Chain A
Amino acid sequence: MTEFLQATVNGIATGAIYGLLALGFVIIYKSSEVLSFAQSGLMILGAFWVVYFSSVLALNFWLAVLLGVLLSALIGVAIERSMLRPMVGKPAFSVAILTIGLNIALTVIGFDLIGVEIRSLGDPWGIQKVEIGQLVVSQKDVATIVASVIVVGALLAFFRYSRFGLAMRATAIDQETALAQGIPVARVFAVAWAIAAGLATIAGVFLGAGTGVTAAIGVRAIRALPAAVIGGLDSIPGAIVGGLIVGLAEAYTVAYQAEYLGFLGQNFSTAVAYVVMFFVLLVRPYGIFGTREVVRV
């Protein structure tokens, strides 16, 4: 039972990181109908800013995170204004390809900035642990879960209670109607990219906390895409649930697969997100919470 609970906690912490990244996918998709593949690039770059502020400029860690998130958000806005805005009205396929290219560019810049070393974030958790009964949980995992709850809660409150959040929801439902109602749709697109970039930065911080940031964290971030697809590309709760499903699936695979499904070989946990996505899409092609697309023939 302890092993199961331990795996569950690990899975929730990992799933929370995937959830934050998947939220970025979903917020951009919902607001602008752009399927962005640039989240991992934004995450690498965002994690670097935090490393830069905390380790190179020796700022307080929390201030470094705040500045990193803000700078990433600005970059997100700049990307939207300069590269995505001109693509409004262009085929979704072209825009998606553009974001793939954008991801490559951001990743290359991030690799160059981070370099080949392991870069320290200067986070306060390190590899310290807390004991809850028989469970031993790393402080980083606890912090990841708590921070994700706070961030997601704040986002949900923003969408529900703030004027601009409501405007974003209205835009997500129908852009033309929103525009007719005086909602600044262009600004909505920019804010969506800013939020996505900020979320990616927070995810990068928790991926690199404790043992440091390497350029390789971007590879891990790619697994957030199945999380977004599983939850449904246009569902904010779906992104969270999708992230948790992927995180838990990985954790349980790590814990039990060797014992019960050894024939699948080692390191199967790195592929399980895609297996889950495959089966979910077989049953629900639009994801668990995704909106079914109705086409009038």
Chain B
Amino acid sequence: MRRRWIRIGALLAALALLATACSQDDEAETTTTAAPATTAAPATTTTAAATETTAAAATTTAAPEPGVVFGKGVTAEPCPDGNPDNGCIYLGVISDLSDGPFAPLAIPATAGIVEFWNKVNADGGLNGFDIAITADNTVDAQYNPSAHVEGYVEIEPNILLLAQSLGTPQTQAALPQYIEDNMFAVPATWWSGWAFPETDGNGLVLETGVSYCLEAMNDVDFVVGQLGTDFTYAVVGFPGDFGGDVAAGIAHAAGEYGLGDPVFQLTQVPLSAGGDVSEAVSQILATSPDVVFITTGPGELAQTMGGVFGAGGTALFIGTHPSWNPGLVAQEALLPALQAAYFQSGFMPTWFGESAGHDAARAAADAVGQDPNEWFLIGWASQYVVKALIEAGIGNGDITREGLVAAREQLTDVSFDGMLPNASYVGDANDVAPRESLINQVDPAAPGGTVNAAPMFVGPTAAAYDFSAPCFVP
């Protein structure tokens, strides 16, 4: 019996050693795998502080800023490794950090968020407070709504707000709790419903950038600009808001241009959920659309394009921004097809975009060894609104969650340091929701793997769209 356990132990130890050795080699190869280490880094000495935060649930007016009221998720004590004279504001993250269709994007995005706040702290913090995102307050929900909600309940007492809440179904599942807790959340999802108080918890969801729906309208405008209106098209997208919102935007634009119905419209189950791209490939080959609007993750995009081009088919693929990942550049076999027939729409100027925000983000990425990645920039840019909100709260002398709800009304001109056009979070969605997006194309020589093909624009369809309700309601 004893020998058996020794054998099992030896096998497990050998496998673990092998896994560790190989993982380390991988980290040298791919930067995205290094991102969690960055994310987790602040946590190494923070367990005690995070526990302390839990205890600091009651509202208090203690130091460091006399007259500033704070409560859950804020302590008078400094952050771990923070400025010793500052208090600490703890933020949470609920993301896909190991598995799920968007993990390749979520990891660099989360790294961007963490580095944004590291930069803020390095610059002295926010009026007497540093910001901390600790491993204790970071949930790897793996695109699972239940895990998202469970994780949220666990970290809620420790945090002031959520610096990232990934996924529409996940964020929607947790929204009733967010509303109950007055919990602001930055969505890593661009569902059009986040622009409306009825569907975003009266403004608790603080989105940055254009919604999928309006981005899709711009995509159709772009294609019409390239091909005219005499083309056939297909729509392939994930179930739920992501695919649904894009499909609604395409349908609206197609109606405006009189393009007619798509030759087919397919709901693509994510590969990680047991999906298979063969149906998409088969239908593309059978119906030969000129254009495929694809709203999936990078894995599904790669397999679909590989299947189509490998079987002699061809089509122009327009993917919404989560369809791309710089890792696709390493797929040498697919690269010619990607270069020739894939455009990625998005809302963030590529890695070498010219703005103060881009400069700061690039410097921060360089400092931590982060490879060029659009999602690092998106994560970084998503935090400007949080910074503006907390600064407004501090200015009002109240950074309790309730205080932040009141401070939201002051977010009429949030600056993104030039990364994106200034945005207002107050007012009617039809007036204030961003409508600008851009189009990138693949260039393996470019940092991040893409270069800009069409700079920020608002197409005629998106410009004229009456944005008075979510384009798609799951």
Which A residues are within 8 Å of any B CB, using their own CB?
Answer: 3, 6-7, 10, 14, 48, 52, 55-56, 75, 78-79, 81-83, 86, 109, 111-113, 115-118, 120, 122-123, 125-129, 131, 136-140, 210-212, 214-216, 219-220, 222, 250-251, 254-255, 258, 266-267, 269-270
Contacts and interface: CB of A to CB of B under 8 A. Distances in A.
Interface of B: 4, 7-8, 10-11, 14-15, 19, 22-23, 25-26, 29-30, 32-33, 96, 98-99, 103-104, 107, 264, 266-276, 278-279, 282-283, 285-286, 298-299, 302-303, 305-307, 309-312, 325, 327-328, 330-334, 337
Is chain B's interface secondary structure helix, strand, loop, or mixed overall?
Answer: helix
A214 B297 CA distance: 12
Contacts of B268: 267
B22 A52 contact: yes
Nearest to B101: A216
A211 B306 contact: yes
Is chain A's interface secondary structure helix, strand, loop, or mixed overall?
Answer: helix
Contacts of A86: 4
Contacts of B32: 115-117
B30 A117 contact: yes
Contacts of B272: 214-216, 219
Contacts of B283: 258
Contact of B273 (A3, A125, A211, A219): A219
12 contacts: A48-B22, A82-B4, A82-B7, A115-B32, A116-B98, A127-B309, A210-B334, A211-B331, A219-B273, A220-B276, A250-B276, A255-B286
Nearest to B7: A82
Nearest to A136: B312
A214 B271 contact: yes
Nearest to B269: A267
A129 B312 contact: yes
A109 B96 CA distance: 17
Nearest to B35: A116
Contacts of A222: 274
B332 A126 contact: yes
Contacts of B285: 6
Nearest to B308: A127
A86 B275 CA distance: 37
A210 B30 CA distance: 20
B11 A82 contact: yes
B22 A83 contact: no
B275 A267 contact: yes
Contact of B103 (A52, A116, A258): A116
B279 A112 contact: no
A98 to B, nearest CB: 11
Given A118-B298, A129-B312, A219 B278 contact: no
Contacts of A219: 271-274
A180 B14 CA distance: 35
A279 B328 CA distance: 41
A83 B337 CA distance: 46
A54 to B, nearest CB: 12
Given A113-B26, A211-B303, A254 B282 contact: yes
A113 to B, nearest CB: 6
Contacts of B99: 111, 116, 215
Most chain B CB atoms below 10 A, which of A56, A211, A219: A211
B286 A112 contact: no
B33 A115 contact: yes
Most chain A CB atoms below 10 A, which of B272, B303, B306, B310: B310
B278 to A, nearest CB: 5
A7 B267 CA distance: 21
Q: Ordered nearest first, which 7 A-B pairs have the shortest CB separation?
A: A126-B333, A136-B312, A211-B306, A127-B310, A138-B310, A116-B103, A216-B271
A111 B98 contact: yes
Given A109-B15, A113-B26, A214-B299, A270 B276 contact: yes
B11 A140 contact: no
Contact of A112 (B19, B271, B275): B19
Contact of B311 (A83, A115, A137): A137
Given A113-B19, A113-B26, A117-B32, A266 B267 contact: yes
A267 B311 contact: no
B274 A118 contact: no
Contacts of A116: 32-33, 96, 98-99, 103-104, 107
B352 to A, nearest CB: 22
B311 A211 contact: no
Contacts of A109: 15, 19
A140 B104 contact: no
B275 A270 contact: yes
Contact of B29 (A56, A75, A83, A214): A56
Given A117-B33, A212-B331, 18 more contacts: A48-B22, A52-B22, A79-B11, A115-B30, A116-B98, A117-B325, A118-B328, A122-B332, A126-B310, A129-B310, A138-B311, A210-B310, A210-B333, A212-B334, A214-B271, A251-B278, A255-B286, A266-B266
B334 A126 contact: yes
Contacts of B8: 82-83
Contacts of A128: 310, 333
A255 B457 CA distance: 39
Contacts of A131: 312
A154 B310 CA distance: 29
B299 A118 contact: yes
B19 A117 contact: no
A254 B19 contact: no
B23 A113 contact: yes
Contacts of A75: 15
Contacts of B19: 109, 112-113
Nearest to B3: A86
Contacts of B312: 129, 131, 136
Contact of A140 (B103, B267, B310): B310
A248 to B, nearest CB: 12
Contact of A120 (B107, B273, B278, B331): B331
